[in-house]
Amino acid sequence: MEKIRIGILGYGNLGRGVELSVAQNPDMVLAGVFTRRDPALLTLQTPGAAAYHIDKAVQMQDAIDVLILCGGSATDLPVQTPEFTRYFNTVDSFDTHANIPGHYSTVDAIAKASDKVSVISVGWDPGMFSLNRMYAGAVLPNGKDYTFWGKGVSQGHSDAIRRIDGVQDARQYTIPVQQALDAVRSGGQPELTTREKHTRECFVVAKAGADLKKIEEEIKTMPKYFADYDTTVHFISQQELDEKHSGIPHGGFVIHTGVTGKNLEHHHVIEYSLTLESNPEFTASVLVAYARAAYRLAKEGSYGAKTVLDIPPAYLSAKSGAELRAELL
Amino acid sequence: MEKIRIGILGYGNLGRGVELSVAQNPDMVLAGVFTRRDPALLTLQTPGAAAYHIDKAVQMQDAIDVLILCGGSATDLPVQTPEFTRYFNTVDSFDTHANIPGHYSTVDAIAKASDKVSVISVGWDPGMFSLNRMYAGAVLPNGKDYTFWGKGVSQGHSDAIRRIDGVQDARQYTIPVQQALDAVRSGGQPELTTREKHTRECFVVAKAGADLKKIEEEIKTMPKYFADYDTTVHFISQQELDEKHSGIPHGGFVIHTGVTGKNLEHHHVIEYSLTLESNPEFTASVLVAYARAAYRLAKEGSYGAKTVLDIPPAYLSAKSGAELRAELL
């Protein structure tokens, strides 16, 4: 079997997750990891695989079928996806929702001009959650969908707390409100405010002598991040934080309710949920499945930018169409 | 806007559901209902639409973009889908899992020879459940999926009870076992027997003077249908059956658990569930969304048999790619 040769650009939590996921897929092989750091400092987990400086990537383009871009959406991907799609089929996890249309247009033009495929905005939201919003809305157009996130760690919110004076370390959990979930599931299609949908729980390690009241007040009133939510703050020791809050769990719910019938009398609830013990490793697993799709789309000459909404489900699977029809349909 | 002209073949619960669903989709119009009965006996719910005898269908082929086949899987669809795909793009809900590969091959050859698209085995299982089994398995290949059905009415099991001597009417509910659902969600990947996954609850109206003990015994020991399950039988009046059990609710769960990480230490749960107040109307809604996809596939010349696994999600939606990226991704 000819294996799909995967390159990884960026070796943080997501890049390491991609490496582990590639190892779970027998039709794939890791062709190299590219980093802006000194590659000698990386310790890969894949026997025989090597790390290279990012500047070496382009000269290795014939050794790589799909390059998975594992940088961040704020500053890395807006530059890297257009740049590397000139030379590689690419997959990224660009997740700044408001900027997706612009990112798509930029990458699409480059991909088409370069005879490459680029699957953008892959992961679970955008990604698996988007798929579920779309399928549910197409099947029950007289309906409404709701997305809840959590319980899970928000890195952005944890970072925001860490920047407060007197804070040594912090971890923030986003938690969906059970009452809101129940109201949505009942099919009533409620209008829910930001505060009604999610709460935020913060575990904070204060520096010695810090003013705890002031830290708590600063967190709870922080605009955008916390002010619109009911926020709970717990001060704990660094040891407790390390012991009980070192994981990166996440997840959430996409719930669509809709009606059918002559008098719209029949209610239906479609619910999709994820409970993830490792957010980056799950996101990486989605990226890897879409790398398989990118490889196939490139083989058939379907060049351009794609999203999860454009790609036939079967392209993600290592199984043949006949196997899928016999085993899974 | 040019509307998609839908034909309906067969006017039982499913056909009536398709008619109602077409009315919810502004980009579609009902072009005709075809029946083996006397068309004068049908009362359609769509102003301006007409019913025709099935023998008239072929001569109306230029007036119909997609014909939705609403017959049963046992005897109707194995004949009708091949036959009508010679003249129409078709969508069917063929759900005899074991015979899907054969049905696919037959229909694929005819569709390709006739420059037609036929989307087979559409609905929720096979259909939306298949999609979820496939996506989850592709993302977490080191995992296992479980499908539970219910709580919902099984027509086949209800019919089986009605055939028992002394039974006037009956309704059977398939119910997933909560303990089994919980065990699966825990990520432990248990092996579950038929009896451990579902129970069956029967509401039976006995004829006057019938031997209730004997009826109950006959139900509980019926091979294939009930013998492998814990079955409960309640005898009630016809009035109570009509009042409390006249709906056709159904639904179920597809749960996939899988592991990632260097030592496979991170567990993930992907869960998809449906709670449907009308099984036929929901199934019909899925058929109609895939009729839109069939129309588009035919326009682009992608002829042949297709399943939900082959079709890009965006083809189901009335929205454009740009709208979907901006609103849903």
B186 reaches A (C-beta below 8 A): no
pLDDT band at A1 (very low <50, low <70, confident <90, very high): confident
Asked if B221 has any chain A CB less than 8 Å from its own CB, the reply is no
* A34 pLDDT above the threshold of 90: yes
Give the whole-angstrom CA distance, residue A255 versus residue A144: 8
Q: Which residues of B touch A270 (CB under 8 A)?
A: 128, 272-274
Question: Which of A:32-91 have CB within 8 Å of B?
Answer: 45
Judged by CB atoms closer than 8 Å, whether chains meet at B134 and A262 is answered as no
For B116-137, the pLDDT digits (tens) are 999 999 999 999 999 999 999 9
Closest chain A residue to B93, measured at CA: A329
Average pLDDT, chain A: 97
| Banded model confidence at residue B167, pLDDT cuts 50, 70, 90 | very high
| CB pair distance less than 8 Å for A134 and B317 | yes
Q: Which helix (H) or strand (E) holds A35?
A: strand A28-35
Three-class SS of chain B: CCCEEEEEECCCHHHHHHHHHHHCCCCEEEEEEEECCCHHHCCCCCCCCCEEEHHHCHHHHHHCCEEEECCCCCCCHHHHHHHHHCCCEEECCCCCHHHHHHHHHHHHHHHHHCCCEEECCCCECCEHHHHHHHHHHHHCCCEEEEEEECCEECHHHHHHHHCCCCEEEEEEEEEECHHHHHHHHCCCCCCCCHHHHEEEEEEEEECCCCCHHHHHHHHHCCCCCCCCCEEEEEECCHHHHHHHCCCECEEEEEEEEEEECCCCCEEEEEEEEEEECEHHHHHHHHHHHHHHHHHHHHHCCCCEEECHHHCCHHHHCCCCHHHHHHHCC
Q: How far is A294 from chain B (nearest CA, A)?
A: 14
**Cβ distance of A324 and B309 shorter than 8 Å:** yes
pLDDT, residue B271, reads 98
Give the per-residue pLDDT at A174. 97
Query: What are A176-225's pLDDT values in tens digits?
Result: 999 999 999 998 899 999 999 999 999 999 999 999 999 999 999 999 99
For chains A and B, count residue pairs whose Cβ atoms are closer than 8 Å.
209
pLDDT of residue A249: 96
Nearest chain A Cα distance for residue B216, angstroms: 32
Crossing angle of helices A128-139 and B279-299, in 10° steps, is 100
Residues 6+ apart with CB under 8 A from B103: B77, B78, B81, B94, B96, B120, B121
